[in-house]
């Protein structure tokens, strides 16, 4: 996990952790990885907004789940995630750009503490 909050190996909530968890689930080995403390949070998956470079990871997982006819709830969450990431309006693009810029400042100057504080209060995920 790139967030590595409080020394947690994986937060199980960020895009990177969720992406990894989805693929481990697809391959049937998620339960073997005890570093992920939770099941896949479907709400978080469905609300993710992915950059173009990460959409393909979720598309690959989606294809495998559909072929296996497995976990329709997860399929629905991934489809929602992909749809939100592909069909982005101008306002959302601007907000995502601002969020990315703030995140870069947060990482550079506070080592991610601002994100952690806002996340703990439920203001962002």
Give the span between the Cα atoms of 103 and 31, in whole angstroms. Answer: 31
Identify the residue whose tokens are 């697809």: 26
Contact predicate 114/106, CB 8 Å: yes
Give the span between the Cα atoms of 20 and 125, in whole angstroms. Answer: 17
Task: Specify the pTM.
Answer: 0.70
Work out whether the CA dihedral 108, 111, 115, 118 comes out positive or negative: negative
pLDDT digits (tens, 9 = 90+) for 4-63: 666 677 888 888 889 999 999 999 999 999 888 778 999 999 988 887 778 888 999 999
Question: What is residue 31's DSSP assignment?
Answer: G
Measured at the CA of 1, the angle between CA 100 and CA 95, to 5 degrees, comes to 15
74: left (phi over 0), alpha (psi -120 to 50) or beta: alpha
pLDDT digits (tens, 9 = 90+) for 80-117: 999 988 887 888 778 878 878 888 888 889 888 887 77
Per-residue pLDDT band at 124 (split at 50, 70, 90) = low
Torsion of CA 35, 40, 45, 46, to 10 degrees: -170
């Amino acid at each position: 996990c790139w967030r590595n909050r409080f020394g947690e190996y994986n937060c199980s909530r960020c895009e990177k952790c969720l992406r990894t968890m989805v693929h481990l689930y697809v391959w049937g080995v998620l339960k073997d990885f005890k570093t992920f403390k939770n099941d896949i949070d479907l709400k978080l998956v469905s609300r993710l907004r992915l950059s173009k470079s990460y959409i393909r990871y979720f598309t690959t997982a989606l294809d495998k789940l559909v072929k296996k006819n497995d976990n329709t709830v997860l399929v629905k969450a991934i489809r929602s995630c992909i749809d939100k990431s592909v069909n982005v309006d101008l306002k959302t693009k601007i907000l995502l750009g601002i969020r990315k810029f703030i995140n870069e400042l947060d990482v550079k100057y506070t080592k991610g503490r601002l994100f952690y504080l806002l996340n703990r209060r439920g203001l962002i995920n």
